Amino acid sequence: MIPVRAEGLLREFAAAGVLTAADVHVALRLARLGNEQRETVLLAAALAVRGVRAGSVCVELAIVADSVAPDEDAPPVELTWPQDWTALDDSPLVAVGADASWRPLRLVDGLLYLDRYWQQEQLVRRELDERAARPAPPVDLAALSALFDGPAPDLQRLATAVAAGRWVSVITGGPGTGKTHTVARLLKLLLDQAGPRPRIALAAPTGKAAARLQESVLEQAAAVGLPRDLTASTLHRLLGWRPGSSSRFRHDATNRLPFDVVVVDESSMVSLTMMARLLEALRSTTRLVLVGDPDQLTPVDAGAVLSDLVHRPAPPEAAATVPAEAVADGTELDEEARRQLRNGVVRLRVSQRYGPAIAGLAEAVRMGDADLALELLETEEGLVLDPGTEALEERIGAVAGEMRAAAERGDAAECLALLGRHRLLCAHRHGPFGVSVWNDRIGRLTGAMPGEWSPGLPLLVTANDYENSLWNGDTGVVVRTPDGVRAAFLRGQSPDLVPLSRLSSAGPAHALTVHRSQGSQFDEVTVLLPPASSPLLTRELLYTGVTRARRRVRVVGSEASVRAAVGRQVVRASGLRRGAPPALGSVGNT
């Protein structure tokens, strides 16, 4: 839709599908407030709004023409990109430089921000740099050898030593590399230090991720000797909701969190705004441990903070030192790993979830090697590239038949086990390659009537349901019981049956979006790729989909789609990956 009041460049870019009505509306509103009429400035403002909507913190004006893709449904057009952005330098809407007084837009070192996101980014940068410059927390690492008794090099032991000796640390790695295993032993090490018992908070961005973190840590409590009273919450609950605000919380710079150690799992899903709110609420003596996989899909909201922290330059005084107790574990670190170590980042590399075939495919995708990825899909056992959907429909029919039979018998435990057998993962929500179409299609394949919730239907919870202790992203199955049809969800090791009438937000889950599947695992996955032209087809999407599988991966799509996915990496514009910003921010004639 082209906004009626849009003219000139705004109208041209809206017609091409680059800008939405909301982007144009904000730009025009700013124009009226600041009495700014120059088209270049208004286009830049609209692009800054669009950037946040697309997940970036800012817009890098020098390369924006190459990084902005029009809507795939819009007719192809040749856009008139400005060659000269210097009008921003004297615009009443733009604060130029880091020290300039407030204006709604800020231009720093060629990056154009909405000022709110500039302030949040600076808060994150300042907190990280101040914590890195502070003397390291005292820690006795003598117990490391008992917690990790394997031979060197052991990256889990190294990650524990690094995290124990820093105020901010990052433990990264793909699925099944032992991140939670490492966190459990880190907590044991810190709990056994001399002095008062540290107060520990476990958190995650979503209710599902928080529940999984708590379960994973408690599963290891007996083996490691952790207290059973450790609980996890969402970041929103940890910080404390404030009525009437979605981005301000009860705990902030004036009311700090009372914890000595805060562990955040699934940190790749944490937005810039949430990371800023968390950092400002931490006491100066709190250890922060961020855990996640920066190669997975980025947050829905603006920012990709975990990836930024992994790749940002370390402070000049930071050294890639390895604690003496773990020095043998750092002997095989390459140059990039040592650079990351200066920021307190340790990447775990060996996955116990899947075998060498899936591991090789995941690494080929992660490294952007499309030729190797295609070769593995064609030659390795357990990996398949299929241009059609016939085999997919056959596999779905087989699993659905087993599920329906078990559900009619009332065997909830068997149904929940079958949920982990196979899952179809889609890039899109709608359209021929989307979840909605395939959920309907699979429903027809299984003989269900449209809209019918019959026994054997997999379910997805789509919003937190505190009354039933269900979390956004939880999955269950409709089963027949002596008391009627119920939805079965796994609670610990046993199923919990919930009447369908009590489910407030749930829907069919024969197919999931790749984004929804983060944190889940299945014996087999089928990743349905859209055409190569789809902007949703990215390296992170394919990597996330592939790494949901334990035993077998089927990619349905063309070779061109695989190449497009592997070659298209999500790069969210951010200043965190750069050094400290200069005082002035003119972009000149780029």
Domain annotation covers residue 150: yes
Q: Among the listed ranges 34-48, 162-176, 390-404, 553-567, which one has the minimum average pLDDT value?
A: 390-404
DSSP calls for 174-210: STTSSHHHHHHHHHHHHHTSSSSPPPEEEEESSHHHH
Residue that the structure tokens 């091409």 belong to: 16
Q: Quote the Cα angle for 515-365-549, to 5°.
A: 55
Establish if 121 belongs to a structural domain: no
2-19: buried (b, 16+ CB within 10 Å) or exposed (e) per residue?
bbeebeebbbbbbbbbbb
190 and 101 in a single domain? The answer is no
CB 242 within 8 A of CB 249: yes
- pTM above the 0.95 mark? no
Encoding tokens for residue 278? 């968390």
Rounded to an integer, the average pLDDT of 348-355 is 80
Q: Which of 29-33, 228-232, 272-276 has the lowest mean pLDDT?
A: 228-232
The three-state secondary structure class of 335 is helix
How many structural domains are present in the chain?
3
Report the distance separating Cα 373 and Cα 368, nearest Å: 9
Instruction: Count the alpha carbons within 13 Å of 399 in the hemisphere toward its beta carbon.
Output: 26
What are the residue ranges of helices labelled H in 410-518?
412-419, 435-445, 514-517
- In this prediction, residue 589 carries a pLDDT of 33
Verify that 192 and 337 share a domain, yes or no: yes
* pLDDT at residue 325, rounded to an integer: 78
Residue 589 lies in a domain: no
Report the pLDDT value the prediction gives residue 317, as an integer from 0 to 100: 67
Domain C-terminal end among 293, 328, 348: 348
Do 344 and 441 fall into the same domain?
no
Q: Whose CA is closest to 218, among 247, 261, 187?
A: 187
Residue 155, token pair as written in the block: 């990256």
Within this chain, do residues 307 and 423 fall inside the same structural domain, yes or no?
A: no
pLDDT band at 105 (very low <50, low <70, confident <90, very high): very high
**How far apart are the C-alpha atoms of 261 and 288, rounded to whole Å?**
6
Cα 407 to Cα 415: distance, rounded to the nearest angstrom: 6
Single-letter amino acid code for the residue at 33: L
Residue 122 lies in a domain: no
- Cβ contact 560:533 at 8 Å: no
Alpha-carbon span 521 to 539, nearest angstrom: 19
Strand 522-528 with 484-491, pairing = unpaired
Q: For residue 172, what is the enclosing H or E element?
A: strand 168-173
Residue 370: per-residue pLDDT: 92
454-487 core/surface letters (b: 16 or more CB in 10 A; e: else): bbbbbbbbbebbeebebbbbbbbbbbbeeeebbb
Q: Is the pLDDT of residue 107 over 90?
A: yes
DSSP 341-376: HTTTEEEE---SSS-HHHHHHHHHHHTT-HHHHHHH
Identify whether 311 is part of a domain: yes
**What is the average pLDDT score of the chain?**
83
Residue 523: pLDDT over 50: yes
Closest CA to 513 of 453, 423, 393: 423
Residues 339 and 365 grouped into a single domain = no
Are 332 and 387 members of one domain? Answer: no
Q: Say how far apart CA 260 and CA 382 lie, in whole Å.
A: 45
Residue closest to 152 by CA, chosen among 326, 327, 324, 329: 329
* Single-letter amino acid, residue 579: G
Query: What is the SS3 assignment for 71?
Result: coil
Q: How many residues does the chain have?
A: 590
Q: Are strands 522-528 and 549-556 parallel, antiparallel or unpaired?
A: parallel
pLDDT of residue 318: 66
On whether both 29 and 155 belong to a single domain, the answer is no
CA distance 318 to 423: 45
Residue 504 reports pLDDT greater than 60: yes
92 is a domain residue = yes
Give the confidence band of 374 by pLDDT, cuts at 50, 70, 90. Answer: very high
Tell whether the model's pLDDT for residue 131 goes beyond 70.
yes
Do 62 and 154 have their domain in common?
Answer: no
**Residue holding tokens 């009860």?**
250
What is the β-pairing status of strands 484-491 and 494-499? Answer: antiparallel
Residue 246's pLDDT is 63
CA 273 – CA 120 distance, rounded (Å) = 6
pLDDT in tens, 457-489: 888 888 777 777 777 778 888 888 888 888 888
419 and 485 in one domain? yes
Report yes or no: 345 and 169 within 8 Å, Cβ to Cβ. yes
**Lowest-confidence range among 268-282, 457-471, 475-489, 526-540?**
457-471
201 part of a folded domain: yes
Query: Residues of 202-217 as b/e, b for ≥16 C-beta within 10 angstroms?
Result: bbbbbbbbbbbbbebb
Domain match, 146 and 203 both: yes
**CATH assignment at residue 373:** 3.40.50.300
DSSP for 77-137, written as a single string: ------S--GGGGG-TTEEESTTSPP-SEEEETTEEEEHHHHHHHHHHHHHHHHHHHSPPP
Q: What is the CATH number of the domain that holds 60?
A: 1.10.10.1020
- Give the domain-ending residue among 324, 348, 372: 348
264, two tokens: 């955040």
Asked if residue 582 is part of any domain, the answer here is no
What is residue 587's predicted lDDT score, i.e. its pLDDT? 42
Question: Quick one: pLDDT at residue 120?
Answer: 92
Q: Indicate left, alpha or beta for 256 from its phi (over 0: left) and psi (-120 to 50: alpha).
A: beta
348, 378, 406 - which closes a domain: 348
Q: Which domain holds residue 556?
A: 360-567
Do 335 and 398 lie in a common domain?
A: no
Residue at token pair 């959907």? 389
In sequence order, the 6+-apart residues with CB closer than 8 A to the CB of 418 are: 399, 402, 403, 406, 477
Looking at the structure, do residues 169 and 296 belong to the same domain, yes or no? yes
Tell me which amino acid residue 240 is: G
Instruction: Report helix, strand or coil for 317.
Output: coil
CA–CA separation, 500 vs 253, rounded Å? 43
CA distances for 25 relative to 11, 70, 322, 535, angstroms? 11, 18, 52, 24
